[in-house]
Amino acid sequence: MIAYTRASTRSWSMLGSSGSFGLAAMELPELSSNVAILTADLSFFSGLDRFRAKYPERLINVGIAEQNMLGVAAGMAKEGHKVFATTYATFASARTCDQVRVNMGYMQFDIKLVGLAAGLSVGILGPTHMSIEDIAVMRAIPNITVVSPADCTATVKATLAAAAHKGPMYLRLSGVQNNPTVYSADFDFIIGKAIKLREGDDIAIIATGTMVYAALEAAKLLAERQITCSVVDMHTIKPLDEAAVKETLGARLLVTIEEHSVHGGLGGAVAECLALTPRKPPHLVLGMTDTFHHPADYHFLLEKNGLTPKQLAASIATAYDEVKAA
């Protein structure tokens, strides 16, 4: 049984999202007798060494062969196994895209595809390891639920929720070790239901993944300027919580923030949701710029993309001034 104490949520934050996933995975065989976790030669990176030690027959390592991993996952899922397939987010969405499309989208096999080190977290290894477009890819394939937890506590909750959920899912894990904590205690994590974390009337911010914490910090900075912001954790990007999106219509400015391209991710999903709505606030889409950046460490890259709380607050304030002046 997992205890959601300050100490445990703090230890998960220090571990990072991959390690937190590995910890949550330890609970899965208790919940489901036929769980199998697949890795493509990344079991140690994915925090799965404890799982492997305790449940060796349930961890299947296909070696460096992501496309094969998806096919193997599909075959096992069809035979009734509850399958988690894990790899870097870049390879999950790009390398295995056809197999994801056919097996998860089209045949709807119950595979939970876990994309590790999403966004910029291993950006030091270069563009081949920066997942810029994975949400856009997954979102565009029918029948796949797309979940992006805000912190390591949410990663644990999302992993358990994924196990209970019926249907193919892409679980996008982001951030690095010492991942800032949004949830320091237990909370209700319901797939498809956004969580409002802060009230405010002037600006509505909808964020996902690591940018939820950044959004909360940006909101504090904006409050110092007497600008009030609401912040919503949109952990499920597909199906989008449209009711939560529509609650933002009263704001003067709507902002979406994601550690993902500005094209096709959370921003795109929200914009599509509101496309037919006649009266809505202008929408500022903040995320990773449409380019392959030079490799650098995580925090450097966040700054390069304008995604630190200070930079976010500045971008939002500028947009807000323009809205008020218009």
> Site residues (CB under 8 A) for another protein?
6-8, 10-12, 14-15, 19, 22-23, 39, 41-45, 47, 49-50, 53, 61-65, 67-68, 90-91, 95, 124-129, 177-178, 294-297, 300
Question: Catalytic: which of 27, 30, 57, 66?
Answer: 66
Which CB sits closer to another protein, 303 or 322?
Answer: 303
**Known catalytic membership, residue 66:** yes
Torsion angle (degrees, nearest 10) of CA 146, 149, 150, 156: 180
Q: How far apart are CA 27 and CA 305, in angstroms?
A: 37
Q: How far apart are CA 63 and CA 58, in angstroms?
A: 15
Closest CA relative to residue 95, chosen from 40, 144, 176, 150: 40
Burial class of residue 6 in the structure, from the number of CB atoms within 10 Å of its CB (0-12 exposed, 13-18 middle, 19+ buried): exposed
Cβ atoms of 41 and 69 within 8 Å: the answer is no
Which CB sits closer to another protein, 94 or 191?
Answer: 94
**What's the gap between Cα 295 and its chain centre?**
22
Minimum CB separation of residue 288 from another protein in Å reads 16
Radius of gyration over every alpha carbon of the chain, rounded to an integer in angstroms: 19
Minimum CB separation of residue 25 from another protein in Å reads 11
Minimum CB separation of residue 87 from another protein in Å reads 11
Which CB sits closer to another protein, 53 or 276?
Answer: 53
Cβ atoms of 293 and 259 within 8 Å: the answer is no
Task: For tokens 């799982």, name the residue.
Answer: 51
Minimum CB separation of residue 90 from another protein in Å reads 7
Minimum CB separation of residue 144 from another protein in Å reads 22
Helix (H) or strand (E) holding 138, with range, is helix 134-139
Which CB sits closer to another protein, 6 or 310?
Answer: 6
Which CB sits closer to another protein, 15 or 141?
Answer: 15
Catalytic residue positions?
A: 66
